[in-house]
Structure 1
Amino acid sequence: MNDWHSWAAIVVFVGAYALIISEKIHRVAVALGGAGLMLAIRATDDKSAFYSEHSGVDWNVIFLLMGMMMIVGVLKKTGMFEYLAIWSVKRARAKPFRVMAMLVVITAVASALLDNVTTVLLIAPVTLLVCERLALPAAPFLIAEVMASNIGGTATLVGDPPNIIIASRAGLTFNDFLVHLAPISAILVVVFVLMCRVMFRKAFLYDEDRAAEIMELEEREAIRDPRLLVQGLIVLALVVAGFVLHPVLHYEPSVVALLGAGLLIAVSSAETGDVLKEVEWPTLAFFAGLFIMIGGLIETGVISEVSKSLADAIGDNELGGSMILLSASAVLSGIVDNIPYVATMAPITSDLVQNMAGGSDHVMWWALALGADLGGNATAIGASANVVVLGIAERNRQPISFWQFTKYGLVVTFVTVVIALGYVWLRYFALA
């Protein structure tokens, strides 16, 4: 890492990260500016930035987001989210903590079946309407849900994009993830719900008058276009089936989402222009810039150097190695997006497993998955779902600052990672 390009790339990335944290300049402008500087100093180039699967823009993430945003845009017109908002509030008797607990559990379960980004795209509109009806601050509810999505997404192969990368590299199946990661994910969801009761207690303001008004509402009256709703739900069901059957069909989630969006627009009365207005273009631009900046660190060897140093520290000590890998992955995934981090770390983890003569029960891979997935909760840009929710909140005039998210994220990440470390030690070493 003696090349000046490496140090220049570090300066650009750290500077951009500092500006994002300070919020003195809009994060989209910072990300695109940082991407431009990475290209200008030749830390990366156009081929690497736009065409490289290893160090370029992850178009699968971009087009997955775009496709699902379009589907959500159509569903918004049906009144479905208003229906779900009224239904959920009535089931929780309009008690704020009960509402949050319900939404958190639903989000965690849905994130295991879909992916965490798709889940928050579907649940966030419901949450905004619930909070509006109950006169509650939306930020705590949105923050809780996105963290639940990252925890729930840990449980399955399709729940979080890093898991797909790990499964491909290690030859793991959908059932492998269920057996090894679903139990700890379920435990962490329960712990997280209890943490929410403490962390967000100031947000649980009960308004008897508003609660009474909602309890008297008939949720079916919220449906404005039954025909479009049926069309949208059928397409959404097909898209969900496509996600779940990824190991069989081998269609990337981005392809499934785009096919679903195209089919829904083709068969429904929705205007293409109106649907495209629902796409969070600033969020997509932020992701593109962030991917290019991280690609600069990859191309100049910065991330590889960090990963190799981690591998040298681990050696052939499986217990110590799994503890270090899980902890370090949690820290690094909070700084850079967990997708490029896992893509870089996967081949190194493969070498570590071989050095340990295969390891026991793929423990090193589970350590990498747990660290990357749970570490994504640490900061506002640690996982794709976090960035998406911040964009939705800003668009709906309920902005969530970097530090507002991160002050909760650091606590949640610390607690969940400590429990995950205990789980790995107990299951794969103490009781092995």
Structure 2
Amino acid sequence: MSDWHSWAAIAVFAGTYALIISEKIHRVAAALGGAGLMLAIGATDDVSAFYSEDSGIDWNVIFLLMGMMMIVGVLKKTGMFEYLAIWSVKQARAQPFRVMVMLVTITAMASALLDNVTTVLLIAPVTLLVCERLALPAAPFLIAEVLASNIGGASTLVGDPPNIIIASRAGLTFNDFLVHLAPLCVVLVAVLIGLCRYLFRKTFVYDEDRAAEIMELDEKEAIKNPRLLVQGLTVLALVVAGFVLHPVLHYEPSIVALLGAGLLIAISTVETGEVLAEVEWPTLAFFAGLFIMIGGLIDTGVIKEVSDALAGAIGGRELSGSMLMLGSSTVLSGVVDNIPYVATMAPITSDLVQSMGGDGDHAMWWALALGADLGGNATAIGASANVVVLGIAERNRQPISFWQFTKYGLVVTAATTAIAALYIWLRYFAPA
């Protein structure tokens, strides 16, 4: 990294990251300012920033978010989320910890079939209403759900975008991810629930009067527009089917989401302006800025240098190499977005696996996937789902600070990564 552009790009990224952490200025302003500086110093340019698949804005992520936000915006008008909030609280007998367990479990399971961002977009409105009904702070519940979404998303090919990249490069199938990662993720969700009982113990305050009020409610009365609800759920089901059938249809999730949003607006009576008002535009702007900054690190060769150094440290040592891959991927994915990191690391991992004489399902691939997916829980900007939920919380006047999320995320990441390391050793390296 002798080129001054590389060091300047690192300085811009580090400075921006420090501003986001300090919260001296709003994270959107920091990200857009950092992106502007990357362009100003020549670390990247307009062609790379806006058109490059490798180092530009990931428009698939942006438009996936926008499409799903529009669909969720229409569903909000039906009363569906109020219905689900009352139903879930009644099922848990209004016990706060039981409510959290239910929401965490649903989030993890849904994230295995949908991408984790879509899942949190659907579950967050329910959570906010549940907490309002029970007079509980929403932040602990939202944080727990984000952590669950990243863990659940690791279990399948479609659950987290890095898994799709890994599957494409290694020739892995949907069933390969189920066989190799799903059993571990079930254990990790159980561990997360146990940690939540301890980490958020001060949150679980039972209000007997409020509980009695909620138990007397009829959730069916919450549905305001049955016709719109049927239309919305039908379109949502089609969108989910499109996500699951991606290996067959070959439509990107962003295309499916936009088609669904367009269809729902066309067949419903909801005004387009009302739907667009529900889109979290600051969140989309933050992602755009973040992608441009990371693109600067890619274009100047910083990410490649880190990946090559990691590959050199691994060499041909399978066990220690897998552990180093897991640990380093966890750390790096907590700092930079895991999509460009995995995209850069995947071909290097492929060469390493081939040099070791390994098959497509070599432990090195699973170490990369687990590190990238679980590492996203480490910080408030470690994964797309984290950023989305922070935006939703802020919009609903329940802001979650960088450190409020990160102090819990680091604990969960450390615990789950340690268990993942043990799992890799037991499954792929321990003597029979």
**Partner of residue 97, structure 2:** 97
Other structure's SS at 1:110 match: helix
**TM-score normalised by length of structure 1:** 0.99
Q: Is 2:148–2:189's contact at 8 Å kept on the other side of the alignment? A: yes
Question: Is residue 328 of structure 2 the alignment partner of residue 328 of structure 1?
Answer: yes
Please tell me the residue identity of whatever aligns with 1:407: K
**Partner of residue 25, structure 1:** 25
Give the CA deviation at 1:375: 0.3
1:159-199: CA deviation from partner (whole Å, max 9, x where unpaired) = 00111111111111111100101000000000100110000
**Partner of residue 84, structure 1:** 84
Moved more, 223-232 or 353-362: 353-362
**Partner of residue 284, structure 1:** 284
Give the CA deviation at 1:205: 1.0
1:368-387: CA deviation from partner (whole Å, max 9, x where unpaired) = 00000000000000000000
Give the CA deviation at 1:270: 1.0
Alpha-carbon separation, structure 1, partners of 2:216 and 2:408: 35
Give the CA deviation at 1:358: 2.4
Question: Is residue 183 of structure 2 the alignment partner of residue 187 of structure 1?
Answer: no
**Partner of residue 126, structure 1:** 126
**Partner of residue 35, structure 1:** 35
Please tell me the residue identity of whatever aligns with 2:283: T
**Partner of residue 357, structure 1:** 357
Q: Is 2:171–2:360's contact at 8 Å kept on the other side of the alignment? A: no
**Partner of residue 51, structure 2:** 51
Give the CA deviation at 1:217: 0.1
Q: How does 1:259-408 map to 2 (within 5 A)?
A: 259-359=259-359, 361-408=361-408
Alpha-carbon separation, structure 2, partners of 1:6 and 1:115: 33
**Partner of residue 200, structure 1:** 200
Q: Is 2:156–2:177's contact at 8 Å kept on the other side of the alignment? A: yes
1:277-314: CA deviation from partner (whole Å, max 9, x where unpaired) = 00000000000000000000000000100110000000
Alpha-carbon separation, structure 2, partners of 1:350 and 1:47: 29
Please tell me the residue identity of whatever aligns with 1:404: Q
Alpha-carbon separation, structure 1, partners of 2:421 and 2:216: 47
| Identical columns (%) | 84
1:208-261: CA deviation from partner (whole Å, max 9, x where unpaired) = 110000000000000000000000000000000000011111111000000000
Where in structure 1 are there 5+ consecutive unaligned residues? none
Q: Is 1:361–1:428's contact at 8 Å kept on the other side of the alignment? A: no
Question: Is residue 112 of structure 2 the alignment partner of residue 112 of structure 1?
Answer: yes
Alpha-carbon separation, structure 1, partners of 2:38 and 2:355: 35
Please tell me the residue identity of whatever aligns with 1:8: A
Please tell me the residue identity of whatever aligns with 1:390: L
Question: Is residue 219 of structure 2 the alignment partner of residue 234 of structure 1?
Answer: no
Please tell me the residue identity of whatever aligns with 1:370: L
**TM-score normalised by length of structure 2:** 0.99
Give the CA deviation at 1:357: 1.3
**Partner of residue 60, structure 1:** 60
Give the CA deviation at 1:431: 4.9
Other structure's SS at 1:168 match: helix
Alpha-carbon separation, structure 2, partners of 1:321 and 1:332: 16
C-alpha RMSD over aligned residues: 0.7
Q: Is 1:74–1:275's contact at 8 Å kept on the other side of the alignment? A: yes
Aligned residues: 432
Where in structure 2 are there 5+ consecutive unaligned residues? none
Alpha-carbon separation, structure 1, partners of 2:169 and 2:77: 41
Q: Is 1:318–1:359's contact at 8 Å kept on the other side of the alignment? A: no
Alpha-carbon separation, structure 2, partners of 1:344 and 1:415: 26
Other structure's SS at 1:399 match: coil
Give the CA deviation at 1:85: 0.1
Moved more, 86-95 or 352-361: 352-361
Q: Is 2:333–2:372's contact at 8 Å kept on the other side of the alignment? A: yes
Q: Is 1:377–1:413's contact at 8 Å kept on the other side of the alignment? A: yes
Other structure's SS at 2:149 match: helix
Please tell me the residue identity of whatever aligns with 2:28: V
**Partner of residue 424, structure 1:** 424
Alpha-carbon separation, structure 2, partners of 1:58 and 1:41: 21
Alpha-carbon separation, structure 1, partners of 2:360 and 2:37: 44
Alpha-carbon separation, structure 1, partners of 2:313 and 2:344: 17
**Partner of residue 173, structure 2:** 173
Alpha-carbon separation, structure 2, partners of 1:176 and 1:253: 21
Alpha-carbon separation, structure 1, partners of 2:238 and 2:360: 38
